[in-house]
Amino acid sequence: MGATFLVCHGAWSAGWAWKKMHPLMSAAGHRLITPTYTGLGERVHLADKSIALETHIEDILNVIKYEDLGDIVLIGHSYGGMVATAVADRARDRISQLIYLDAFVPEDGQSLLDLNESARPRMQELAKAGDGWRVPPNPTPPDTAPADLEWLSERRVDMPIKCFETKLKLHGSPLKLPRSYIYANRITPADTFARFAGRAKSEAGWRYYEMDASHSPHVTAPDALMSLLRKIAIDAG
């Protein structure tokens, strides 16, 4: 019986960005669910300055509730690591394992900008220029194929600054479920995720993996990512 993979996607992105992974998951006998956060992708018409990290956490929790999902392999990509950490905390009876894909790994009381302090001034300046709250997308990795770059550029939209400023609130005891970290090791000039990879390599309770890809392997290296996700699901099982 296949696994149910539920994605907490990255900033400026949406469920559509995982398009290449759906046929691969289906062919492998798995179910892939890629909901879009409020204010992004096909829900961009709901964009508002009040949207914060908590909004996106509730988005995913409601998918779990109303789709009656269980035994979930939860994936948090990039900013989605903030979302996935809270979802795993609050819906721990529904989650079988947690996978961070080149993602932030927050502790209770930390915001994304707390974890990426060097980006704070730039993000705040961009938000000021964007009606006081809109942060435009970061550049895509340099190895992104031209066709993919065009596809991404047409669909990525601004993020509300509150999503990056909101401090995470965890409600339960430390998580005991299996946790894995995938580090995309084609390092860009600002290697934001090396510290989280290092933590996963050195702390007990983690499985650590690397892949030869840049920050969004679901776009640039979907077959390699699929192989690795299958391996992780089998190893944890």
C-alpha to C-alpha distance for 215 and 201, rounded to whole angstroms: 18
For residue 74, report the phi and psi dihedrals to the nearest 5 degrees: -95, 125
Residue 122 burial (CB < 10 Å; 0-12/13-18/19+)?
A: exposed
Q: What residue type is assigned to position 161 of the chain?
A: I
Distance, in Å, from the CA atom of 102 to the CA atom of 81, rounded to the nearest integer, reads 8
Phi (first) and psi of residue 75, to 5 degrees = -110, 130
Candidates 13, 26, 50, 78; catalytic one: 78
For the question of residue 78 being annotated catalytic, the response is yes
Catalytic residues: 78
